[in-house]
Amino acid sequence: MMPMSYFIGLSILMFAMGILGVLLRRNPLIVFMSLELMFNSANLLFVAFSAYHHVLDGQLFVFFVMTTAAAEVAVGLALIVAIFKAKRTIDLDQMSSLKG
């Protein structure tokens, strides 16, 4: 069996990539993908620890996260379509109408 630290390291890597993607990219589709990356880094840890401790709770939780992620993507894509219809662009830098 692979050492636990591999999973944790990979998860940290994925999460960091996700954060950077969300913070730096201007294309909302890429941002979404980065978000998925973060979700899945969490999922990876859930599953890894579940196997490590021989408890099923973690795996169970992953399903919830996946469901939530799916729903979130559905809403997110719909938002993007709506925004595109209104603004004719999906560049995230153009979307600051809520500034104070």
Partner 1 sequence: MSLFEIASVHPFFQLVPLVVFLPVLGLLINLLVGKYLGEKGIGAVASLATGGAFAVAVLLAIGLGQVSEGATLTLANWMTVGDFSVNWSFRIDTLSVLMMLVVSGVGMLIHIYSIGYMHSDVRHNEDPGRFRRFFVYLNLFIAFMMVLVSSDNFLMLFVGWEGVGLCSYLLIGFWFEKGADGIGNAKAAKKAFVVNRIGDFGLLIALFLLFHNFGTLNFAEIFEQAPAIAAAAPGAIMAITLFMLLGVTGKSAQLPLYVWLPDAMAGPTPVSALIHAATMVTAGVYLVARSQALYVEVPAAQNIVMWVGALTAFFAATIAVGQNDIKKVLAYSTISQLGFMVTAVGMGATVAGMFHLTTHAFFKALLFLGAGSVILGVEHGHAQANQHAEHGHDSFDPQDMREMGGLRKRMPLTFIVYLLGALTLAGIAPLAGFFSKDEILAAANEKSIAIYALLTAAAFLTAFYMGRQLLMVFFGKPRSVASEKASESPLLVTLPLVVLALLSVFGGALNLPGSHILETWLEHTLEGVTPGHFVLTVALISLAVALLGLLLAWLVYGRKPSFENGQPDPLRKPLNGLFTALENKWWVDELYNTVIVRPYDAVARFSAGVIDQGIIDGLINGMGSMVGSLAKAWRRYQNGYVRSYALTIVVGVVLVITYLVLR
Provide the binding-site residues for partner 1, judged by CB under 8 A.
19, 22-24, 92-93, 95-100
Write down the least CB distance from residue 19 to partner 1, Å: 6
Nearer to partner 1 by C-beta: 1 or 97?
A: 97
Nearer to partner 1 by C-beta: 1 or 93?
A: 93
Nearer to partner 1 by C-beta: 1 or 5?
A: 5
CA distance to 41, 52, 74, 85, 93, per residue, from 6 (Å)? 12, 13, 32, 44, 36
CA dist., res. 57 & res. 64, Å (int):
11
